[in-house]
Amino acid sequence: MTLKEIAREAGVSAMTVSNVVNHNDAKVSEETRKRVQAVIDKYGYVPNMSARSLSAQNSRIIALMLPIQIEEEKLQEIAQVDPAAAESIKNTLADYYSSAMVGYLESKLKPMGYYTMLRSFYRAEEVLELQRNWKVDGCILLMPKISDAENRMILTQSQCPVVLIDRFYPDLPMLSVGSDDYHGGYLAAQECIRFGHRKIAFVSTGAPEAVHCSTIIQNRYDGYLAALREASIPAEEELLLGFHSSLSGGRSCGRYILSLEKEKRPTALVMASDALAIGAVAALKEGGLRVPEDISVIGYDDLPMSALIDPPLTTISQDLDAKASAAAALLKMKIDNPEMAGRQTLLDVKLARRSTVGPVPADF
């Protein structure tokens, strides 16, 4: 059943049916609208979005782009050795943060009349290609941990509005939604300081040098430094660590801490993610250290599981629902008003105080 057939049946032109379907109520008399709608309902007419997209030059599709955090060539090497591991790396929704954000985004976009196209990618070209393939109305980039060069290429060459999550380039006109990571890092360190800690390690994701690569982690680190400064605690280089942001990375971190002589051991760990923190707590406990009696740990993310580990993890919590809403709203504003200037929405975070941060051990 096509628009034309509905038109013939209702005794109007195709244009009128189109106006009814698209709720351009101002362009159709109420009487005609009702008559046409009745025919639409009678036949269960559903518009063909491809035809619509082709003539309207837009698609009502929002591309949700998820970078695969590795180069395609490296992944192929891994696939040679461990196919299952390679497959799980290609799965861009295996972590709570990405998948919850995608879920929230879809639930916001649907009532706005948009369709969500999900796509993993390695390189910026893939993003630009998809945008043009489908003439997408907008594009949301999640976890753009890819290189700045790729991100900048996407931002400068995209033909549609783009919202970046968790990444901001002040020199580019762009739309971005992020969390106040600086404040988060500050709150985390402050909570440890409040309990009397002075040897507080900051555990970054990846190598310690990586702090300076990721804006997010850098901001958290800066917040951490600010809290130390405020308490007149000098920052020490050995207290900046780095491990892969995963449960096993956290375990490695925990084992590293256990390997340290007691005098050199930090009394509190500010972790860049809950995954890291949970893994570390597990390894620390296995190694005989009690949390928080012997060592305090604070996470970042507030995963659902974080409240359920033993002891429940003290962490920094962000409102993912609000983040997704902000991203969807920002994108829609830009779509509806292409002249809109760039802007960054920064959402606040809060401390979820639970049980992994406690007083400094008496013997320190």
Partner DNA sequence: CTGAAAGCGCTTACAG
Q: How far is the CB of 28 from DNA (least distance, A)?
A: 4
CA gyration radius for the chain?
25
- Applying the rule CB under 8 A, the residues between 310 and 329 that interact with a copy of itself are 310, 321
Helices (H), 119-246: 124-134, 148-157, 181-194, 215-230
Q: Mind giving me the DSSP string for 39-94?
A: HHHHHT----HHHHHHHHT--SEEEEEEE-SS-HHHHHHHHHH-HHHHHHHH-TT-
Indicate whether 128 belongs to the interface with DNA (CB under 7 A): no
Looking at 43-51, 151-159, 196-204, 279-287, which segment touches DNA (CB under 7 A)?
43-51
Pick between residue 54 and residue 308 the one whose CB is nearest to DNA. Answer: 54
Residue 156 Cβ, how far from DNA at the closest point, in Å? 23
Q: Are 150 and 123 in contact (CB under 8 A)?
A: yes
Spatial separation of the C-alpha atoms in residues 316 and 295, rounded to whole Å: 18
| Interacting residue with DNA among 23, 34, 42, 51 (CB under 7 A) | 51
Distances (CA, A) of 131 to 15, 60, 86, 119, 128: 28, 12, 27, 11, 5
**Residue 32's binding partner, choosing from DNA, a copy of itself, none, with beta-carbon cut-off 5 to 8 A by kind?**
DNA
Name which of residues 54 to 93 contact DNA (CB under 7 A).
Answer: 54-57
**Helices and strands (DSSP H and E) totals, the chain:** 14, 12
Q: Which is nearer to a copy of itself, 219 or 306 (CB)?
A: 306
Q: Which residue has the tokens 């976890």?
A: 143
DSSP-based three-state secondary structure for 34: helix
> What is residue 244's three-state secondary structure?
coil
- Locate tokens 């189109």: which residue? 18
Helix axis angle, 96-109 relative to 320-336, nearest 10°? 50
Give residues with Cβ within 8 angstroms of 51, minimum separation 6.
none
Residue from 22, 88, 156, 259 binding a copy of itself (CB under 8 A) = 88
Measure the CA–CA gap between 200 and 128, rounded to whole angstroms: 43
What x/- string results for residues 7 through 36 when contact with DNA is judged by CB under 7 A?
----xxxxxx-xx-xx---xxxx-xx----
Partners of 162 in the beta sheet? 139
Query: Using CB under 8 A, which residues numbered 269 to 288 contact a copy of itself?
Result: 278-279, 282, 285
Residues 6+ apart with CB under 8 A from 103: none
Are β-strands 240-243 and 200-205 bridged in parallel, bridged antiparallel, or unpaired? Answer: parallel
CB of 7 to a copy of itself, least distance (A): 18
Instruction: Rule CB under 8 A: choose which of 33, 37, 70, 99 binds a copy of itself.
Output: 99
Candidate ranges 42-50, 136-144, 198-206, 296-304; the one touching DNA (CB under 7 A): 42-50
State the binding partner of 12 from DNA, a copy of itself, none, CB within 5 to 8 A by kind: DNA
157: contact with DNA by CB under 7 A? no
Provide the CA 122 distance to its chain's centre, in angstroms: 17
Q: Which does 91 bind (CB under 5 to 8 A by kind): DNA, a copy of itself, none?
A: a copy of itself
Residue 14 near which of a copy of itself, DNA, none (CB within 5-8 Å, type-dependent): DNA
- Between 16 and 273, name the residue whose CB sits nearer to DNA: 16
Q: Closer CB to DNA, residue 31 or residue 261?
A: 31
CB of 342 to a copy of itself, least distance (A): 26
Cβ distance to DNA smaller for residue 35 or 220: 35
Q: Under the rule (CB under 8 A), what is the footprint of a copy of itself?
A: 46-51, 53-54, 59, 61, 64, 84, 87-88, 90-94, 96, 99-100, 102-104, 106-107, 110, 115-120, 129-130, 132-135, 247, 278-279, 282, 285, 304-305, 307-310, 321
Q: Under the rule (CB under 7 A), what is the footprint of DNA?
A: 2-4, 11-16, 18-19, 21-22, 26-29, 31-32, 45, 47-48, 51-52, 54-57
